[in-house]
Amino acid sequence: MPSDLERILKLEVPIIVLLGERRMPMGEVVSIVPGTIIELPKQADEELELLVNNKVVGTGTAVKVGENFGLKIAFIGNVKERIAALGAQGGAAGGSSAEDDAAAALAEQLLAGQV
């Protein structure tokens, strides 16, 4: 089982840092052109949400890392919450195979404290 755990922990999953979101009438959406500025209802210094599998697992603040942006983590959920975020509702990969099934079973064992 340890080799299975090592394989699971090496899987890459997409993470999302949510800058902000807002609702817009469809008429405004279809009229968006290059150069359009969409104002977000969030202060520039507010914490951003870190999502895994579209579930919030932490928060942090935007930082500049060289020429790129980064996220300095201010809060992160415990390991069980992060593993649970990778669970049901399609998962990050969205597919289904024997490896995906094995990964799901191992994640369940991790959550149950059996590994």
For 8-40, what is each residue's pLDDT tens digit?
778 888 899 999 999 999 999 999 999 999 999
* Neighbouring C-beta atoms of residue 31, cutoff 10 Å: 10
**CA dist., res. 36 & res. 62, Å (int):** 23
**Does domain 12-22+38-112 correspond to CATH entry 3.60.15.10?**
no
Domain boundary assignment for the chain: 12-22+38-112
Quickly tell me which residue has 């399609």 as its tokens: 90
pLDDT tens sequence across 92-108: 444 456 656 666 676 67
Question: Look-up: residue for tokens 């008429």?
Answer: 27
Q: Which amino acid is at 33?
A: V
Residues 76 and 110: their CA atoms lie apart, in Å, by 18
pTM for the full model? 0.66
